[in-house]
Amino acid sequence: MRAPHPAKLFLKLLAPRLPQMLSTLRNFVIVESPSLEKSAADRCNRIVSAEWRKRDVRVERIPQRHRGDHLRITWWPAKSRPSGQLLVLGHYDTVYETGTLAKTSFRIAGGKVYGPGTFDMKAGIVQAVFALDALQQSAEPLRKRIVFLWTSDEEIGSDSSRKLIETEARSSDAVFVLEPSFGPRGLLKTARKGVGEAEIIVHGRASHAGLAPERGVNAIHELARQIARIQEWKDLPSGVTLNAGLIEGGTRSNVIPERARAVLDLRALRIADMQRLERRLHALRPTLPGVRLEIRGGFNRAPLERKMSATLFQRAQSLAAQMGLSLGECTVGGGSDGNLTAACGIPTLDGLGAVGDGAHSPREHVIVKTMPARAALLAALLQSS
């Protein structure tokens, strides 16, 4: 008789554990963890750490001054010598400030589990905990050491965790990101746009609009021209977008304004497009005589190009098929820490976390019955890597 497929075996182990998965999720969600409130985030970190400490793993808190501490968990079976490293990546911070839970509580209804941070992405952390349990029960030896990294500031740009993420990624052979999947079918995110922010600051010359118009240089007029120009760089089919999301300048209508400023959101699907966009922005020149332009910023996260996920996705698909599930993929406009690891040249598969909807909103939820299979998928990916 042929041995059962590993993913199916993991699912068999994990399906009966759904009640524990839900109670662990509850423990993680009822301690709020806003990115910007260190003491609250640290409280959540302690709860998440405690859950991992119940297992035979090394748990390290990586102290931060202004943000919640990051959490690194390492596991490899002592009997074998690891032949490499796999990184499982995610964040425990949420976009919700303390007190949100009083308005949108943790609750289970109609096959969905609701609560701030359930979908993005505390259920992902829960699935990883139980994937580890399944791996620890499996007779099949693991080839690689596994590092689980849970950071505290993904929702605000990962300033304090970026170096750590990149260092761990560089010592890894593959990265599995437990950010939420997409849509009701739980599509994995095999490509993500790179994301940036830039500022155009125009310095003109102030003057009286009525008495000495010839002596002024209007910074707002110049900015309007620049914005009209950069709008033409947008290329939707290629995934290049620019959005002037904030604009300011001037004091009153009879003063020729000496300063104006626009803040732009930048996105691109390909690294080459990102670089071209940055070059073009910094090459902008004034159109009105007497104006000085100042350009700041650029891309913060490079695109996660599909080629960085392709091989891992194929494997995920065939492992999912072992459980009778068809796994799809998608491209999304938003970035994650998966963009950082892919930019290090490490194969990265993102969107492996929860199936649900409503991230960053009071409707945030996870589809309960999907949790064991997603945990099993992760276990099977880790074991076969």
Binding footprint of Zn ion on the chain (CB under 5 A):
120-121, 179
Q: Which of residues 119 and 299 has its CB atom nearest to Zn ion in the complex?
A: 119
Sign of CA dihedral 163, 300, 237, 283: negative
| Separation in Å, CA 194 to CA 13, 30, 267, 347 | 38, 32, 5, 16
Residue 352, φ and ψ in degrees, nearest 5: -85, 0
23: its two tokens: 């109670």
**Nearest alpha-carbon partner for 117 in 139, 150, 85:** 150
272: its two tokens: 């080459």
Sign of CA dihedral 363, 159, 313, 8: negative
Question: Taking the complex as a whole, how short is the minimal distance between the CB of residue 360 and Zn ion, in angstroms?
Answer: 9
Give the three-class secondary structure for 166.
Answer: helix
- C-alpha span between 213 and 48 (Å, rounded): 64
Q: Which of residues 7 and 169 has its CB atom nearest to Zn ion in the complex?
A: 169
Q: Give the DSSP H/E element, type plus range, for residue 58.
A: strand 58-62
Contact between 187 and 328 under an 8 Å Cβ cutoff? The reply is yes
Q: Which of residues 152 and 383 has its CB atom nearest to Zn ion in the complex?
A: 152
Question: Taking the complex as a whole, how short is the minimal distance between the CB of residue 7 and Zn ion, in angstroms?
Answer: 25
Give the three-class secondary structure for 302.
Answer: coil
Q: Which of residues 274 and 352 has its CB atom nearest to Zn ion in the complex?
A: 352
Question: Taking the complex as a whole, how short is the minimal distance between the CB of residue 92 and Zn ion, in angstroms?
Answer: 10
Question: Taking the complex as a whole, how short is the minimal distance between the CB of residue 95 and Zn ion, in angstroms?
Answer: 9
Q: Which of residues 259 and 365 has its CB atom nearest to Zn ion in the complex?
A: 365
Q: Give the DSSP H/E element, type plus range, for residue 133.
A: helix 123-137
**Nearest alpha-carbon partner for 267 in 230, 300, 295:** 300
Please provide the distance, in angstroms rounded to a whole number, between the alpha carbons at the two ends of the chain: 25
Q: Which of residues 120 and 350 has its CB atom nearest to Zn ion in the complex?
A: 120
Contact between 194 and 271 under an 8 Å Cβ cutoff? The reply is yes
| Separation in Å, CA 100 to CA 9, 32, 115, 123 | 39, 8, 9, 18
Q: Which of residues 120 and 133 has its CB atom nearest to Zn ion in the complex?
A: 120
Q: Which of residues 121 and 368 has its CB atom nearest to Zn ion in the complex?
A: 121
Question: Taking the complex as a whole, how short is the minimal distance between the CB of residue 169 and Zn ion, in angstroms?
Answer: 17
By Cβ distance, which residue is nearest to Zn ion? 120
177: its two tokens: 């990101």
**Nearest alpha-carbon partner for 334 in 182, 124, 150:** 182
Contact between 130 and 180 under an 8 Å Cβ cutoff? The reply is no
Question: Taking the complex as a whole, how short is the minimal distance between the CB of residue 366 and Zn ion, in angstroms?
Answer: 13
Q: Which of residues 32 and 120 has its CB atom nearest to Zn ion in the complex?
A: 120
Helix residue spans in 232-367 (DSSP H): 271-282, 310-322, 337-343
Q: Which of residues 154 and 258 has its CB atom nearest to Zn ion in the complex?
A: 154
Question: Taking the complex as a whole, how short is the minimal distance between the CB of residue 208 and Zn ion, in angstroms?
Answer: 52
